[in-house]
Structure 1
């Protein structure tokens, strides 16, 4: 019989993360486009990001029919958080920035994220932004496929910290870190050291 789950954070009730999830305001509107294969992941960091930010939403699917209306949200300038040759490194909002960003964040493996772009050509047309100096991932349970790869929630926090400084969004990472600690203790210290330790 499946364990009862929290409706909000989707974690087993005994490990509900809701008390750790903040409710933060941001000028930037964050829209997370999640590939359906990510929804069942134990570390569903896009959901945690959407729950912790008041000005954020999580959409799940492969083809997003409402994209034209979403990108036309009044009062925002839409950009895609995705690396590429034309991607501009995010920098702090200046006094001349009339419109805050509508930050579109694909959530999935690199292959799935590229598929989302392919299936939604409007995304391909958006100006791209990327992180300059990427802080190392705190996600110690998965070896990143390339240097500079971080989880979705870490990428969102780093972008918001850059855009909206001196505001700080690190509080958003509290449930994420608790999730990782919980998985490490469930795994056992020896297994963790053997599989994920620095060797």
Structure 2
């Protein structure tokens, strides 16, 4: 028998995170494209990010027939947040296109994110932006596959902080930090220190 869960944050009612989730406004519009395998993930930080931002939407799937319509809003300049050849490092400087960004963010493992780009050619054709080098994840319970490997909510928070400075979006990370602390508490301090504490 499954435990009752919160219909908003999808966490067990005993561990609901809604009180920690902000409702932040941003000039940047965020479109998160989540691979279906991520929906049942214990963290599912993409959902937390979408809930915490007023100007964001979360779509789940592998192929997105509506993508052309989502990218067609002429009020925004669409860019893909994904590293690659020719990707501009955030923040973007003022150019001839002064529109705010529509930041399209694939959510999944690197392999799944690349699959989303392969299955949706419009994504692959977007101008790319990426985060500066040398960033490290706050997720202390998992060894990152490489430098710059961040949870989706971390990548979105950093991207918005860079692009919309001096505005600060760190409040987005409150439920993420609470999830991590809850997992550490559940495993016990001794187990955490033995298996995950950095020396």
Number of residue-to-residue matches in the alignment: 199
Taking only aligned residues, the RMSD between alpha carbons, in angstroms, comes to 1.3
Q: 1:101 to 1:173 in 2, by over 3 A?
A: same
**SS in structure 2 at match of 1:102:** strand
| SS in structure 1 at match of 2:10 | coil
The aligned residue for residue 118 of structure 1 is: 118
Distance (Å, rounded) in 2 between the aligned partners of 1:74 and 1:198: 47
Equivalent-residue separation in structure 1 for 2:140 and 2:49 (angstroms): 18
Higher mean alpha-carbon deviation, 184-193 vs 174-183, is at 184-193
How far residue 97 of structure 1 moved from its aligned partner, in angstroms, is: 5.2
- 1:79 is matched with 79
Task: Tell me the secondary structure at the aligned position of residue 142 of structure 1.
Answer: coil
How far the C-alpha of 1:134 sits from its partner, in A, is 4.6
Gaps of 5+ in 1: none
Calculate the TM-score normalised by the size of structure 1: 0.96
Asked if residue 149 in structure 1 is aligned to residue 149 in structure 2, the reply is yes
Distance in 2, Cα, partners of 1:73 & 1:179: 35
Conserved 8 A contact 1:92-1:164? no
Relative to the length of structure 2, the TM-score reads 0.96
Q: 1:33 to 1:12 in 2, by over 3 A?
A: same
Aligned to 1:170: 170
**8 Å contact kept, 1:21–1:174:** yes
Residues 23-49 of structure 1 show CA distances to partners (whole Å, capped at 9, x for unaligned) of 000000000000000000111100000
The yes-or-no answer on 1:131 pairing with 2:138 is: no
SS of equivalent to 2:114: helix
